[in-house]
Amino acid sequence: MNETLDVLVIGAGPAGATAATLLARRGFRVIAIDKDRHPRFHIGESLLPANLPLLDRLGVRDEVEAIGMRKWGIEFVSPHHPEPAHVDFVEGWNKDLDGAFQVRRADFDHILIRNARRSGAEVIEGCRATAVSFDDTNGDGNGGGEGGGVTVDVAHDDGRKERLRARFLVDASGRDTFLANRFKCKQKNPKHNSSALYAHFDDAERLPGRKEGNISIFWFDHGWFWFIPLAGKATSVGAVCWPYYLKSRKKPLDQFFLDTIAMCPPLAARLRDATLATEVTATGNYAYSCDRTRGERYLLLGDAYAFIDPVFSSGVFLAMNSAFVGVDAVDACLRDPARAPAALAEFDRVMRHGPREFSWFIYRVTNPTMRELFMAPRNTLRMKEALISLFAGDIFEDTPIWRSLKAFKGVYYLSSLANLPRTVRAWKRRQVNIRDPEADARAG
């Protein structure tokens, strides 16, 4: 048993490394552990413009720019429209949020880890949390009283085992959801259920000129594709599809992925002369959330709390933003307990706000009415500006987008009513699409 730390962070991805950096700068003794050794491959390569102020506050923007591909906007490609639609972030409400970067996550995450170490945090790689216990009688990190703590058993990849003790625990374990699994508080999102196939391709055809680094979203019959150009010749391509489709696979994964791409002729044309550069990976359980964001001695950051469909590339931004607001809550809990309830309540509000605002659009992104609105956005009542601001991640500051977004939602509902038979068909189809075949089999 080592001496008691101030804070132990589980996970050193964007959320964990950011939290460790900020906590160390505030004078806390903090250790972040990560099961992987970096750099390592990861998806989630598209940042939002709202990421850049966070990178500035961390002092790493220049490093990220050096490894990134500039991203100025989004291309939407629909099989039901003759031409793609392009939106530029500079058309949003806040003209300062005019662009972002596409990054290789191996390099990006490594930058954040090095920055955490420079800031005074200790980062231990190849170290996995295996068990946790809280001092309070309930064992849930609540009601333990002043002076309580948390003990975490860890296993190093060289076989060593160790026990770490801290006054506070930050779970940034991503989709491993370390604490949520222990508390049995994680649920699949009943309103959305999807799976993904993804890989990198070399020498894909990109958009010309300034749009070269823009992300492209392609709709197809079983979901949608992402197309993310990276610095150099690599492009990240992924298919987010309904579970029934992935369960239909009867051939090797790489061939199944290529056959899936062939279902989307505009994307297939962009990959005509490209070569597969990495193994194809498949993953499920793509949408979930937990019934809590925090306790008196712990927080859940980023994907450790919730994971939503990546269509708007919100994951890295929500993870890093959760670290910024989470550090304020940790500081209050450890230094000024009288301030802690308000700080924890604010943390809870922010954590729920992001997934909720993005999810309204995610649940409807494959609906024909929403697709039409995306393909021909109008700026009546500044609705287009507000929508692009949402795409940019400008949802936590004072930008007055909310009335315009309500107007956009009103137009969506009115358009859906005006095409009621199509809307009902789309709704029924979606209920089939989000059904979990494995759950159905267990129920049957």
**CA angle 322–350–353, rounded 5-degree value:** 115
Question: 301 and 273 in one domain?
Answer: no
48 within a domain of the structure (yes/no): no
Question: 148 and 163 in one domain?
Answer: yes
Q: What is the CATH number of the domain that holds 29?
A: 3.50.50.60
Report whether 178 contacts 129 (CB < 8 A). Answer: yes
Domain that holds residue 227: 65-103+190-283
Q: Which tens digit of pLDDT belongs to each residue from 177-236?
A: 999 999 999 988 877 778 899 999 999 999 999 999 999 999 999 999 999 999 999 999
390 within a domain of the structure (yes/no): yes
Question: 310 and 177 in one domain?
Answer: yes
Crossing angle of helices 315-335 and 51-58, rounded to 10°? 50
Residue 82, token pair as written in the block: 């003759």
Q: What is the pLDDT of residue 153?
A: 97
Question: 272 and 200 in one domain?
Answer: yes
Dihedral of alpha carbons 138, 174, 176, 152, sign: negative
Which residue, among 318, 37, 297, 51, has the nearest Cα to 174 in the 3D structure? 318
60 within a domain of the structure (yes/no): no
Of 283, 307, 340, the position where a domain reaches its end is 283
Question: 267 and 196 in one domain?
Answer: yes
CA distance 79 to 92: 26
Question: 250 and 135 in one domain?
Answer: no
In this structure, the dihedral spanned by the alpha carbons of residues 289, 290, 294 and 299, taken in order and rounded to 10 degrees, is -60
Of 308, 332, 354, the position where a domain reaches its end is 354
Q: What is the pLDDT of residue 38?
A: 94
177 within a domain of the structure (yes/no): yes
198 within a domain of the structure (yes/no): yes
**Average of per-residue pLDDT across 13-20:** 98
Q: What is the pLDDT of residue 440?
A: 44
Question: 270 and 197 in one domain?
Answer: yes
Q: What is the pLDDT of residue 238?
A: 96
Of 304, 322, 354, the position where a domain reaches its end is 354
Question: 137 and 182 in one domain?
Answer: yes
336 within a domain of the structure (yes/no): yes
Report whether 19 contacts 116 (CB < 8 A). Answer: no
Question: 344 and 324 in one domain?
Answer: yes
Check whether 305 has a pLDDT greater than 80. Answer: yes
Q: Which residue has the tokens 């160790």?
A: 162
- Beta strands 73-77 and 215-220 are parallel
pTM, two decimal places: 0.93
Question: 174 and 162 in one domain?
Answer: yes
Question: 336 and 399 in one domain?
Answer: no
Mean pLDDT of the chain: 92
224 within a domain of the structure (yes/no): yes
Check whether 317 has a pLDDT greater than 90. Answer: yes
CA distance 399 to 385: 11
Check whether 371 has a pLDDT greater than 50. Answer: yes
Question: 34 and 10 in one domain?
Answer: yes
58 within a domain of the structure (yes/no): no
Name the domain count of the chain.
Answer: 3
**Average of per-residue pLDDT across 120-141:** 87
Report whether 165 contacts 150 (CB < 8 A). Answer: yes
Q: What is the pLDDT of residue 284?
A: 75
Q: What is the CATH number of the domain that holds 222?
A: 3.30.9.100
